[in-house]
């Protein structure tokens, strides 16, 4: 069941975590694979974590500002 405006449920947080991990890995790997001299051992995990946290905050923030029908601020969407 969707959460209401300015409310979050556990499902929102779980989906936010999935989006965060996926966004962080895909963003980082896309840049790393295109860089010259890519080495799997030299992954910058701090950078990956920053992307994950930013993605999580964005996803949860969007859900926090969405109503039951998925409209952001009750009017967009």
CA pair distance 33, 48, nearest whole angstrom: 14
SS3 72: strand
d(CA 56, CA 14): 10
Looking at residue 59, its pLDDT comes to 86
Domain ranges across the chain: 10-64
Across 36-41, average pLDDT? 73
- Cα–Cα distance between 76 and 72 in angstroms, integer? 5
Angle at 24 between CA 26 and CA 66, to 5 degrees: 110
pTM of the model: 0.67
What is the model's pLDDT at position 1? 62
Residue 72 binned pLDDT confidence (cut-offs 50, 70, 90): confident
């Amino acid at each position: 069941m969707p959460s209401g405006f300015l409310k979050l449920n556990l499902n929102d947080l779980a989906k936010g975590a999935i989006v965060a991990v996926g966004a962080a890995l895909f963003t980082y790997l896309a840049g790393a694979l295109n860089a010259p001299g890519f080495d799997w051992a030299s992954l910058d995990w701090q950078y990956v974590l920053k992307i994950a946290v930013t993605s999580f905050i964005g996803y949860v923030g969007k859900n926090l500002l969405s109503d039951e029908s998925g409209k952001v601020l009750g009017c967009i969407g």
